[in-house]
Amino acid sequence: ARGTWRTKRQVDWWITPEASEKSTTGYVGLKNLGCICYMNSLLQQFYMIPSFRNDVLAVNDPKKGSNPDENVLYQFQCLLAALNESVKQYYNPKVFCHAVKDYEGKSINVYEQMDVDEFFNLFLDRIEFSIKGTPQAQTIKNHFGGVFSNQMLGKNCPHTSIRKEPFLALNLQVKNKKSLQQCLESFVEGEMLQGSNAYLCEKCDKKITALKRVCIKRLPKYLICVLKRFDINCNNMQKVKINDYCEFPMNLNMEPYTEEGLAKKDQAKEREKAKQEGRDTAENPQASTTVKYPPINYEYKLTGVVIHYGTADTGNYSSLIMDREKTNLPE
């Protein structure tokens, strides 16, 4: 049959192979198939963590040969390999999007926008399930996993209740917060349970005034902070975006928001209070020895930001990423 795609229009004869070649920067892009900028932005962040990328590529999946188009792990490996080795300008994630299933078992709709943190939780859940039983089974936990400490601190009794909870990201309230540090301070601030809302202490067998708060028991290797910019307007039940200005530093010390950091702060307050009351701090039942880590354990350097432009219903995502392999940044 005679080809009809080439007309007399000039544009049909502009054949420039170099336009499809990899950028001179050496990076390969991901094609936006419609509304998957949120996905592409996050996947590029994952790719730019060399140790995580290498762990995923090293997984030997025995199921990849049976139905590769439905295998999310295999498709993720193909995507990472393309970003690493391809000589093309971009990789088409069409089959990858088909392989990623939501909680209802449906493939990702490339024409439907999703919050990046929603996709983050969904995707890592799928990958974690796929790598169970392999030598790399703990790679997600080793890279992004931390542990919360849910605390109930008695104010008129010596007892405390602590419950551990794993996490992969910190979800922080950004409304009326001017900086990331203010978001973190609000996160660990907690609330006082008293009066009719007092806490029932099982050891004392009575209701007591207690401070209920969440802090960090164990910090992850890579700390992911999610600024919660999407909210619901209770007056009209419409989704809105919070555009409050919030700055974040290039370097962040997380000690003030950890279990031992808060304990240190509480003990300093108690010593000051005891000093004012003329009491000996050695008699303070709340004083306790906390685990101490080297200062470097609390230090984080900013290496990536996923940015959303637009409103709650429409917009675009993009990524800013530091190349760890070209900046001599330790893994």
- pLDDT(171) > 90: yes
Q: Are 137 and 55 in contact (CB under 8 A)?
A: no
pTM of the model: 0.86
pLDDT digits (tens, 9 = 90+) for 66-98: 788 999 999 999 999 999 999 999 999 999 999
- Per-residue pLDDT band at 148 (split at 50, 70, 90): very high
Cα 231–Cα 305–Cα 51 angle in degrees, nearest 5: 125
What percent of the chain is predicted at pLDDT more than 90?
Answer: 61
Q: Are 144 and 169 in contact (CB under 8 A)?
A: yes
pLDDT, average across residues 22-27: 87
pLDDT, average across residues 2-15: 64
Q: Are 304 and 222 in contact (CB under 8 A)?
A: no
What is 181-200 written as a DSSP string? HHHHHHHHH-EEE-GGG-EE
pLDDT, average across residues 244-267: 93
Predicted local confidence at residue 290, as pLDDT: 57
Predicted local confidence at residue 47, as pLDDT: 97
Predicted local confidence at residue 82, as pLDDT: 95
Q: What is the mean pLDDT of the chain?
A: 88
pLDDT digits (tens, 9 = 90+) for 263-280: 988 888 888 877 877 776
The token duo for 172 is 């922080």
- Burial (CB < 10 A; 0-12, 13-18, 19+), residue 52, is buried
Predicted local confidence at residue 18, as pLDDT: 67
Decide which of 122 and 266 is more confident: 122
Q: Distance between CA 95 and CA 93 in Å, rounded?
A: 6
Predicted local confidence at residue 6, as pLDDT: 59
- pLDDT(155) > 90: no
- Per-residue pLDDT band at 198 (split at 50, 70, 90): confident
Predicted local confidence at residue 22, as pLDDT: 85
pLDDT, average across residues 132-151: 96
pLDDT, average across residues 27-55: 96
Predicted local confidence at residue 19, as pLDDT: 64
pLDDT, average across residues 310-327: 87
pLDDT digits (tens, 9 = 90+) for 277-306: 777 665 444 445 556 788 899 999 999 999
Predicted local confidence at residue 318, as pLDDT: 95
Predicted local confidence at residue 285, as pLDDT: 47
pLDDT digits (tens, 9 = 90+) for 199-216: 888 888 888 889 999 999
Predicted local confidence at residue 281, as pLDDT: 60
Q: Are 201 and 208 in contact (CB under 8 A)?
A: yes
